[in-house]
Amino acid sequence: MKQFDTNIAKLSNNIINATMNVFLAIAMSPQFMPTAKKFHYQFNLRDFSRIIQNLTMAQPQVYKGNPLGIVRMWAHECHRTW
């Protein structure tokens, strides 16, 4: 079982809430609604789960004492997924 520093472990709820906020902002945005030309703009909870799932693969020894690193990884996963 992976054990992260307490500073990083405290971020888990904030990261999930931030991911939900990003997901809702994109899902409700008229700019990203599917159209006949851009039908691939369909966001769902699978995208949300990919971000969280990839964050769970982070190695504690890489991010030891570096909560900013986890936040950067989260931002990267959001950009990569959406």
Taking the chain (82 residues) in consecutive chunks of 10 residues, what is each chunk's mean pLDDT?
Answer: 83 94 82 63 78 92 90 93 74
Q: Rounded to an integer, what distance in angstroms lies between the CA atom of residue 21 and that of residue 23?
A: 5
Structure confidence at residue 11 (pLDDT) = 92
29 class by beta-carbon count within 10 Å (0-12 exposed, 13-18 middle, 19+ buried): exposed
Domain extents in the chain: 6-81
Q: Record the pTM.
A: 0.80
Structure confidence at residue 39 (pLDDT) = 58
Structure confidence at residue 36 (pLDDT) = 61
